[in-house]
Every structure is written in structure tokens, then in C-alpha cells.
Structure 1
């Protein structure tokens, strides 16, 4: 089988499996929410509300039917791309919640990933180019520490140091409460401030992004440091690198123009999957920094037993991860002709 046909077969198989994966995730979330203690009606009306009012609200929300009937109704709505309506925000649809909060999560993820790639690649390249030295040891220690430190703990410590003690950064939120954010075009404040020509809002947005992005980016950089260091060290021992050295090519040019490019191929896969997971896994960072993103909104929905919002956001994040995983596999196969399926 030729490489192009094998890749087509792989893509078709993944596309057929994607709905099955999403159905499994949606079903598991549906069952887990109803297995956990707590009643959304109590969260809305309070535990002291009259039983008649609770029954009326439960009937209105469709929670009075059997579990099987609720499941069939839920799956039918998903097939129509209807994620439902929030139980706690006065009839706001889940799609509206995603549209309002997802840009903040994307902005945090993009800048955090930029920090992670820049720091991780730099530290990994320095460590790999100086094996068995203090630079190599420091790079390994950096990767281990940043990979193992909990995000919420690091966020609180950095807030105490740089926001409370030194006063260099704000404690949280995305923009000053007293100021109006830039006009909404994309929901990304950095982009919207540029489109509206408001450079003051742009720098303010970057200022509020600094501490959460540095926290999350540096913690994620350990992943890229380890991948770049290991692969770059192997690449620097390849025959074509030795041939370039024999021709008198400067070591810095060998590192940047030859070895680093090939060593970054495995990092592309990790980059895409880490970014996709970051969109759905930044909940601890968003809660710690009071960042008004979709992960923080998911935390609030879980706390309030808002079934439709939790189910909708989780399915949305799962879709993002599945699509990103497929796209990265295809991109990786196109970049590296050695990959076979």
C-alpha cells in the first residue's frame, strides 16, 4: 500500500472513530453527573424551598423523567447540535456561554503556549548542545521541577510574591474592572484592541496576561525542554551533522539550521496535543487567577450542579481535542515522510 493511500485510510478510520469517542465521553459525563451527590434544583431554589416548588421546577427542567428518558433526550439534542440551556443563568444557552468565555481561554492558552515553546526550546537546546556539563544538569533539573510543580500552587505562590508583596502585577481578572474593555470583534482582547487602534488597551491586556501566562507557560515548558533535549542530542550525533562539522560549518549554524529543525518534529505532535489539552485543562489556573475563561465557567457549573452547562462544555472541549489530535497527526505525516500508517 502506497503512503498516500495508507494516510487516506488512516484519516478515514479516525474520522469514523471520532463520533464514537465523542459519544462515549458524552455518555460518561451524563452518568457521572447524575451519580454525584447534589440536586441542581436545590442549587437553584435552595434546600429550604417548598417541595411543591422543587417538583414544579424539576418538571420544567426535564429532571423528573427516568434516567433513560433523560439520556435519550440529551443524545437527541446533541445530534441536533443543541447543547441545552443553562440551569443557573436565566435561560442562557450553553452555546452563548461558550461564545462569551471561550475567547478568554484561547487567549490565555495561546500566550502560555508561546512562553512554553520559547522557554522549553531554548533551555533544551542549551542543555543538548553542552552534554555532561552544568548546563545539561540544570536543564534536566528545570524540566523535572517545572513538570512536577502543581499549577494551582505555583499560581498562588507567584501571586503572593509578584502581586501582593511586590505589587508588580494585578491579582487576577482579565481587564481592569473600572475600565471598559476594547470593542468586541473576536473576543480576544489583544486582537480587538489592535483592530480598534487602542494601543493603551493592548498594553493593559498584556499586563493582565503576564502573570497567568508566565505561570502556566513556564510549568508547561518542562515538557518541551525534555523532548527537545533528547531529540536534539540524538540529532547532533547523526552522520550529516558530523559531515557539516567536517566541512567547517560553524557550530551555531549546525545547531539552528540543521539539527534543531529535525529535532523539533516530535515536538510538533506534543505542541498540538498540549495546546488542545491546555484549552480544557487550564481550569486550576483560571480559578486561581480569577480568569473569566471557559474552564473557570465549567468549575462554576460543576459547583452549582448545572448539568447542561457541564455536559456542553465537556463535549465541546472533547471535540476540540479530537479535532486537534487528528490535525496534528496529519500534519506530522506530511512533514516527516518516514511516518507510515
Structure 2
């Protein structure tokens, strides 16, 4: 069997084991949250009636021991059933199918901007080490890492929408346009599939400001990591040998320097994308973006345990998939990883 195939099989088996661990951790942590879901979901009058309380606990399986609740939870997961949300009274899977694409679209746009600008800035800073442009980009990266995202979101919304009125307001698309027929749940993609360029332009306009706000931190992070990785590779003997052979600078940069520096860059990018998905609550609240962050916040405040576990499971699976993709890219980029 080829080394790359063995490498992939090991990673997939490990991912399956980790997926089971995610279900266990999300279930245990959710049930350790202080508070009584009965009190959070029933009114005071109903809460004073023991018969109503007992019936509600029985309907939601809270009258059984925790280990039985976990087995029932696993059985439902195998069948694709994440339970019923106590706040929307709909299947959690249906709620997540509605809210997750919005967050994926926002985080995807943010990570795409971050990769393009962060890697470009890091390469420029490394190639122009200790020059004015290097110092300026390092200051910019420090600002991006240091500025709180929620504060930046408030300032951006106030300045660009309220004062200058050059960006759209809240939501994913103009209310007058409605939305494209749902296919993927991504407004930009669905608008293109439907041939609705007006909806596509509106969706992109609504996406720009929150995506740039989310991307600023990741741009700063990637700029610093890319600069360090490129500087380390530039000092290697094979780069000096390539220069001594008279190879063009562009060839040296793309074939030798960037390929060797991609491993730490991919690692940071993968972790950043996962953190963007799970950390968009405040940005989504400020821009009224109907994503998983808002759904998770409302579920947590009402102690909607099935919804909280569903969100935790989705975020954990996303991290798992990202790590699997990163591991695969390791094997593709660096042959030494496949042989270990």
C-alpha cells in the first residue's frame, strides 16, 4: 500500500475515534452546566405543578440516569436525530441546517480574505526584513491581533453604515429582494445558481463588513506566522544553492520558500477557521447575522440542552474535519510526513 494511502487511513480512523469523543464531551459538559432546564423552559405557574414538571422531564428524557440519556443520545445521532429544540420546537438538525450555512459563508469569506492578505503581507515583510514596509506590516499585524473584535464590529457598523452609509445594514441580503431559492444555504452561491445577480450583489455587500471585521485578527496572526516561517526557510542551504544556480527569484519563492513554509501556515489557517466558526457570536449579534452563534447564544440562555449539544457537536465536527484536511495537506506538501 502506498505511504500516502496508509497515512490517510490512519487519520480517518483517528477521526472516527475523535468523533465519538466529541459526542461524549459535549454531552457531559452540557449536563454539567449549572441550572435547571425545567425552570428555564416552564413558567412559574407550571413549575409549581409537580405533574406538569414530571411530564415535561419524561417527554425530554430527563427522568432517566445520565448514562441512559447518553445512550439514547448516541442512538439518535446514529439515526441522524439530534433531538428537538425546546425553544423552536423543531428538530435541532433542521435548525442547524438553517443557521450553519450563514456562519459558514461569513467565516469562509473571512478566512479567504485572511489567507490572501495575511500570506501576502507575511511574504512581503520577510523579503523586506527590517525595512520600513516590514515595520509597518508588523505594526498592522500587532493592531489586528490586539483590537477586540466586538469593539471593531461596533465601530465599523457605526462608521460605515450609520455615518458614511457606504455599506448595507444588518442581515444577509436586502429585505426588498427577499432571498434566492435555498439550495446550499449560502446566499451568494444560491444567487449565482438562480442567476439572480441583484441578490448576489446585495449578499456580497452585506458580507464585506462583517467578514473584514472577523478577518482582521486572522490577518495579523497569519502575517506574523508567515513572516517567521519564510525567514526561517530563506536561511536554509538549499535556498542559497538555488540562488547560486541563478534561478529566478519568483521560482525560488514559489517552488522552494513558500512550499517549505506552508506547513505552519496551514496549521494556523486551519485553527483560525475553526475559531472563526465558533467565535462569531458578537459579530453576528451586531450585524444581525442569522448564524450559529446567535442560535447557540439563545440556546444557552434558555438551557435548551438538545440545541446546545447540537451546536457543540457541529463545532467539534468542524474542527475535526479541518484537522483532517490539514493532516492530508501535510502529507501532500511534505513527503516526509507520509513516511513517519
Change (3 A) 1:256 1:76: closer
SS of the residue corresponding to residue 303 of structure 2 reads coil
Distance 1:126 1:181 in 2: 40
* Larger deviation, residues 78-87 vs 22-31: 22-31
Q: Which residue in 1 is equivalent to 2:43?
A: 46
What TM-score comes out, normalization by structure 1 length? 0.88
1:171-216, Cα deviation, whole Å (9 max, x unpaired): 4211223431111121111111111111111110000001100001
Which residue among 305, 314, 317 is the counterpart of 2:315? Answer: 317
Instruction: Please provide the CA RMSD for this pair.
Output: 2.5
For the pair 1:77 / 2:89, whether they are aligned, the reply is no
Match runs of 1:197-236 below 5 Å: 197-236=195-234
C-alpha deviation, 1:222, in angstroms:
1.5
Distance 2:248 2:5 in 1: 42
Q: 1:269 touches 1:332 (CA, 8 Å); kept in 2? A: no
Distance 2:276 2:297 in 1: 15
Distance 1:80 1:184 in 2: 25
SS of the residue corresponding to residue 338 of structure 1 reads helix
* Larger deviation, residues 222-231 vs 248-257: 248-257
Distance 2:165 2:142 in 1: 29
C-alpha deviation, 1:223, in angstroms:
1.9
Q: How many residues are treated as equivalent by the alignment?
A: 337
Match runs of 1:227-246 below 5 Å: 227-246=225-244
C-alpha deviation, 1:225, in angstroms:
0.6
Q: 2:7 touches 2:331 (CA, 8 Å); kept in 1? A: no
Q: 1:115 touches 1:218 (CA, 8 Å); kept in 2? A: no
Q: 1:147 touches 1:220 (CA, 8 Å); kept in 2? A: yes
Distance 1:204 1:272 in 2: 29
Change (3 A) 1:139 1:41: same
Which residue among 308, 324, 327 is the counterpart of 2:306? Answer: 308
Q: Which runs of 5+ in 2 are unaligned?
A: none
C-alpha deviation, 1:159, in angstroms:
1.6
Q: 1:43 touches 1:304 (CA, 8 Å); kept in 2? A: yes
Distance 1:302 1:84 in 2: 16
For the pair 1:285 / 2:283, whether they are aligned, the reply is yes
Q: 1:103 touches 1:188 (CA, 8 Å); kept in 2? A: yes
Distance 2:237 2:7 in 1: 32
Q: 1:175 touches 1:204 (CA, 8 Å); kept in 2? A: yes
Q: Which residue in 2 is equivalent to 1:116?
A: 114
Q: Which residue in 2 is equivalent to 1:33?
A: 30
Q: Which residue in 2 is equivalent to 1:21?
A: 18
Q: Which residue in 2 is equivalent to 1:57?
A: 56
Match runs of 1:248-259 below 5 Å: 251=249, 254-256=252-254, 258-259=256-257
Q: 2:11 touches 2:327 (CA, 8 Å); kept in 1? A: no
* Larger deviation, residues 32-41 vs 315-324: 32-41
C-alpha deviation, 1:8, in angstroms:
5.2
For the pair 1:95 / 2:81, whether they are aligned, the reply is no
